[in-house]
């Protein structure tokens, strides 16, 4: 299954398994990004060599450096030519916990993949994984769809540190998580981000 709409994909990813280099996590938190109409998206300013992967095809991994030190990853979900992605924010390690502990140091088990940079580190995901096909059984990183999380257990709210399409600090409920799961990351409010004038 390759989905091509960020909000439907965000819901579908909750409860799925992301497997990478000896570790598997159950995804518990995600954020949807709507491409060129979304100031929170890297594709907000259009197609660039950096954002090329975000413009499709769906089902690939978009990896990037955050704050010059952490790798984060997204599930690309737009139809070809349209940028859209879902940030994989947090998960529960369900296989390979000893390896995840080794990669994450002294973090408590609930924090091993809690937060987007922690998730990639626990799975051994790096910038070299940018563009990986998550549905190819030979890929080093793969997604495995599971039973959908019941709608009653899914919560939504503003994205962490990101404003909505207005770019004026207004927030949109584009962050989704499994209610009550201890691996869900802490919320941090947004700072306004505006499109540059040409």
Which three-class secondary structure state does DSSP give residue 189?
coil
Please write the tens of the pLDDT for every residue from 128-164: 999 999 999 999 999 999 888 999 999 998 888 775 5
How far, in Å, CA of 38 to CA of 29, rounded?
A: 20
pTM of the model as a whole: 0.87
Say which residue the tokens 């995901």 belong to.
125
pLDDT of 114 reads 96
Please write the tens of the pLDDT for every residue from 55-86: 889 999 999 987 667 899 999 998 888 889 99
Tokens of 58: 């769906």
Residue 99 CB neighbour total at 10 angstroms: 16
**Is the pLDDT higher at 74 or at 38?**
74
Cis previous bond, 57, omega within 30: yes
Sign of CA dihedral 58, 138, 42, 70: positive
Sign of CA dihedral 161, 166, 168, 169: negative
pLDDT at 193 over 90: no
- Residue pair 103/124 in contact (Cβ under 8 Å)? The answer is yes
Question: Per-residue confidence at 1, pLDDT binned at 50, 70, 90?
Answer: low
All domains in the chain, ordered by first residue: 6-178 (3.10.300.10)
How far, in Å, CA of 95 to CA of 66, rounded?
A: 26
Q: Which of 179, 156, 145, 165 is nearest to 3 (CA)?
A: 145
């Amino acid at each position: 299954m390759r989905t091509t709409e960020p909000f439907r994909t965000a819901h579908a990813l909750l409860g799925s398994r992301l497997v990478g280099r000896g570790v598997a996590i159950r995804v518990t938190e995600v954020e949807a990004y709507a491409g060129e109409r979304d100031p929170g998206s890297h594709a907000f300013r259009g197609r660039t060599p950096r954002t090329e992967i975000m413009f499709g095809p769906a089902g690939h991994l978009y990896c990037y450096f955050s704050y010059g030190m952490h790798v984060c990853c997204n599930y690309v979900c737009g139809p070809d030519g349209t940028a859209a992605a879902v940030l994989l924010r947090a998960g529960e390690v369900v296989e390979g916990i000893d390896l995840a502990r080794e990669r994450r140091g002294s973090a408590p088990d609930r924090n091993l993949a809690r937060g987007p940079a922690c998730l990639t580190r626990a799975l051994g995901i790096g910038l070299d994984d940018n563009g990986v096909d998550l549905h190819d059984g030979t890929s080093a990183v793969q997604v495995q769809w599971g039973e959908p999380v019941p709608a009653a257990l899914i919560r939504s709210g503003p994205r962490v540190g990101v404003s909505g399409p207005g770019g004026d600090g207004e927030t949109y409920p584009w962050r989704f998580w499994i209610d009550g799961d201890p691996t869900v990351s802490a919320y941090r409010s947004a700072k306004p981000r505006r499109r540059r004038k040409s």
